[in-house]
Amino acid sequence: MSATGAGRTSSLAILLVCQVAAMSCWFASNASIASIRAQEAMSPFYEALLTSSVQAGFVVGAFFSALFALPDRIDLRHLFRSSALVAAACTGALALLPPVSDFAPPLRFVAGMSFAGVYPVGMALAATWARKDLGLLIGLLVGSLTLGSALPHLAASFGGLDWRLPCIVASGGAFLAALLAGWIGIGPNAPVVPKFKWSNIMIGWRSRPLRLVNFGYFGHMWELYAMWAWIGAFVAASFRARYGEHPPLHPALATFFIIASGAFGALLGGFLADRLGRTLVTSLAMAVSGLCAVSIGLTFGGSAAWVLFVGILWGVSVIADSAQFSASVVELSEANLRGAMLTAQTCIGFLLTLASIHLMPYAVDLLSWRYAFCILALGPLCGVGAMLTLRASPEAERMAGGRR
């Protein structure tokens, strides 16, 4: 692929707008849950299924995209555009269904498959413009994913409006992303995408540095999407316990601030990791996010300001390390292993989110909101151990220009 379209700055700017707009579909149904509950009963399992269906779809989509080498066969911009259109159609279709419908999880699954042509493809497009700032560029893309994931909660914060609004707004955003994708330029560093090979996964698994990076990533993923999926329910319950039906801040707006703050965290993490080292930044981020997972429950029923403070600290730290695991795999892998290792890392990581997302309702029933999020701290605890172990190994010199 040659360098076509807009230049570096304008291409990255358009790409970030497209990523924010398209990824707003990821949590569109979650943002509608509070309004739906006012009309119909919804089981905790069904609520979790609206998120886990997207996660499962993403795993399937990412696997088949790698298996058939779609990013190598199709212009990245065309793949992004078609995937965004599918996400727009599936998300918009939710507004045509009853509030609780058996058709919603399958639509969410297909939308999840389409995100495999948006999020990883966006990172691939950004990487074509990298100039020794890979961590920062991937951090920018993760930040845009975070902001896009938070936007439906902003739409839901307009009290009294129909539950369909977040779905309609998100669908419109994905459609806009599809329209703008053609103006994204492809930079001079467009590599040939390594073919996916099952044998490469085992070769990569036998590499101790790659294995440690993956364990760090798995710990991160155990926490991240369960936090995003359930923090809104926690905030709503906490505000209701303290203020009844008249909180000083709409719970959906508070949720937006908490999740959207991660955009700053992803950017900060990418900036620091390129300068201080990936193992250091990922370990610090997971240590802080793990402490927040343990302590956020202590704010339950407390003042809105206290809930928001700890929530935003968690929102920033929980995503600050995300992009650096992908960058670490790229730096530690041989060229012929990168495709298989990134695919394996992504698929296993998102499969883990299915477990943590569905465990949360049971944890709330058993432990109450005050202690339920503590189960998510197990992920960062394991992740910090893996990344500090990697930091002590000589292979870590290959990361971030020798900054470990």
In this prediction, residue 133 has a pLDDT band, given cuts at 50, 70 and 90, of: low
Q: Which residues of 200-219 are buried (b: 16+ CB within 10 A; e: fewer)?
A: bbebbeebebbebbbbbbbb
Q: What is the pLDDT of residues 302-328, one digit of tens each?
A: 999 999 999 999 999 999 998 888 888
- The neighbour count for residue 122, using CB atoms within 10 Å, is 28
Asked if residue 18 and residue 137 are part of one domain, the reply reads yes
Domain match, 277 and 136 both: no
- Residues 110, 149: one domain? yes
pLDDT at residue 112 in the model:
94
Q: Strand ranges (DSSP E) for 106-214?
A: none
CA-nearest of 204, 188, 186 to 196 is 204
Q: Indicate whether 346 and 210 sit together in one domain.
A: yes
Token reading at 327: 């960058």
The last residue of one of the domains, among 193, 225, 259, is: 193
Task: Kindly tell me if the per-residue pLDDT of 200 is higher than 70.
Answer: no
> Domain limits at 189?
1-193
Distance, in Å, from the CA atom of 239 to the CA atom of 53, rounded to the nearest integer, reads 28
Q: Is the dihedral of CA 37, 350, 252, 168 positive or negative?
A: negative
33-39's contacts with Cβ under 8 Å and 24+ in sequence apart are: 33/232, 33/233, 34/156, 34/232, 34/236, 34/251, 34/252, 35/156, 35/161, 35/162, 35/163, 36/99, 36/100, 36/163, 39/99, 39/163
Question: What interhelical angle do 134-156 and 119-127 show, nearest 10?
Answer: 140
Q: What's the CATH code of the domain at 228?
A: 1.20.1250.20
Number of domains forming the structure of the chain: 2
Summarize pLDDT for 30-56 with one digit per residue, the tens.
888 877 877 788 888 888 898 899 999
Q: Which two tokens stand for residue 139?
A: 């951090």
Q: Residue 349 pLDDT > 60, yes or no? A: yes
Q: Are residues 221 and 59 in contact, defined by beta-carbon separation less than 8 angstroms? A: no
Residues 180 and 224 both lie in one domain: no
Q: Which of 139, 172, 193 is the last residue of a domain?
A: 193
| φ/ψ of residue 4, rounded to 5 | -130, 165
Q: Are residues 184 and 206 in the same domain?
A: no
Instruction: Look at residue 323 in the predicted model and tell me its pLDDT.
Output: 80
Average pLDDT of the chain, as a whole number: 86
pLDDT value of position 3: 43
Assess whether 323 and 185 both reside in one domain: no
Domain match, 177 and 237 both: no
Given a contact cutoff of 8 angstroms between Cβ atoms, the answer to whether 49 and 29 are in contact is no
* Those residues with Cβ within 8 angstroms of residue 149's Cβ, 6 or more apart along the chain or in another chain: 23, 24, 26, 27, 228, 259
Q: Which of 193, 223, 256 is the last residue of a domain?
A: 193
Structure tokens at 45: 């399992």
Whole-structure pTM value: 0.86
Based on the domain organization, do 221 and 355 belong to the same domain?
Answer: yes
* Mean of pLDDT values over 12-18: 91
Q: Quick one: 167 and 233 in the same domain? A: no
> How large is the angle between the packed helices 44-67 and 208-243, nearest 10 degrees?
150
Please say whether the beta carbons of 140 and 267 come within 8 A.
yes
Same domain, 149 and 245: no
Do residues 148 and 206 share a domain?
no
Interatomic CA distance for residues 385 and 219, integer angstroms: 10
